[in-house]
């Protein structure tokens, strides 16, 4: 019986790609429409990471403005439309991503994306960034009935990509990524350059890296090469 391949699962925003400029740009369009102050990128950057609804809620909270559920639903729909038309104005892959994906693929790893971004935006953005075809699965917030920090978001992504859950590793930047991976019993690598209101070093990842040049070594430490062959 042929065994399933090892798999590396990646978050998207703040992990594979710097997307804050476009996400905060859309948030500011929404805030301006509601008569609220726009937020500087430096102030809003760490509000990203839990999905668009949470970003809108955090933006309104920063403005000291109540946000009833029905208003949030309306603004969420507006956000998705505007963001979908402006996915890749400023967004770009982090340095070293392409080489790291090449190295993992050469070692026999299946690759997947598990993000709280909605699936069509994730697929479209990765296509615009030129790497969508590298992943065996690209799973978003609504792909399954569960999303991070629920561990089933990761385990179902692994299953959809055809990877081995016993030889899997998660790579992410936020508490949602790390908590979901730990709950799934999957080792997790945190990246320091993403979006989090708590330093990633304090979130309990198995390894922390500051550049994609260090990714393969961190993966090897968690899934030894002789097991991944």
Q: To which residue do tokens 């963001």 refer?
A: 83
Please state the φ and ψ torsions of residue 202, each to the nearest 5 degrees. Answer: -95, 5
Q: Does residue 11 carry a catalytic annotation?
A: yes
Contacting residues for 30 by C-beta, under 8 A, at least 6 apart = 56, 59, 75, 78, 79, 82
DSSP symbols for 137-199: EEE-TTTSS--TTSHHHHHHHHHHHT--GGGEEEEESSHHHHHHHHHHT--EEEETTS--SS-
Give, rounded to a whole angstrom, the gap between the first and last alpha carbons of the chain. 15
Cβ atoms within 10 Å, residue 106: 9
| 171 DSSP β-pair partners | 10, 189
Q: Residues 11, 13, 22, 173: which is the catalytic one?
A: 11
Residues annotated as catalytic (active site), given as ranges? 11
């Amino acid at each position: 019986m042929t065994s399933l391949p090892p798999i590396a699962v990646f978050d998207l925003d703040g992990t594979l790609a710097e997307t804050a400029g476009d996400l905060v740009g859309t948030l500011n369009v929404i805030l301006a429409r509601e008569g609220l102050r726009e937020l500087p990128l430096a102030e809003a950057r760490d509000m990203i990471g839990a999905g668009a609804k949470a970003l809108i809620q955090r933006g309104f909270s920063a403005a000291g403005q109540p946000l009833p559920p029905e208003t949030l639903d309306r603004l969420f729909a507006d956000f998705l439309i505007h963001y979908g038309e402006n996915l890749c104005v400023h967004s770009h892959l982090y340095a070293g991503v392409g080489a790291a994906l090449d190295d993992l693929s050469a070692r026999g790893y299946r690759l997947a994306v598990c993000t709280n971004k909605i699936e069509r935006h994730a697929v479209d953005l990765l296509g615009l960034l030129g790497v969508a075809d590298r992943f065996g699965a690209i799973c978003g917030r609504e792909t399954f009935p569960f999303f991070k920090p629920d561990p089933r978001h990761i385990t179902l992504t692994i299953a959809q990509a055809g990877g081995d859950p016993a030889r899997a590793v998660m790579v992410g930047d936020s508490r949602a990524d790390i908590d979901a991976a730990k709950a799934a019993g999957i080792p997790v690598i945190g990246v320091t350059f993403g979006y989090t209101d708590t330093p990633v070093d304090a979130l309990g990842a198995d390894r922390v890296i500051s550049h994609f040049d260090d990714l393969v070594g961190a993966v090897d430490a968690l899934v030894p090469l002789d097991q991944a062959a």
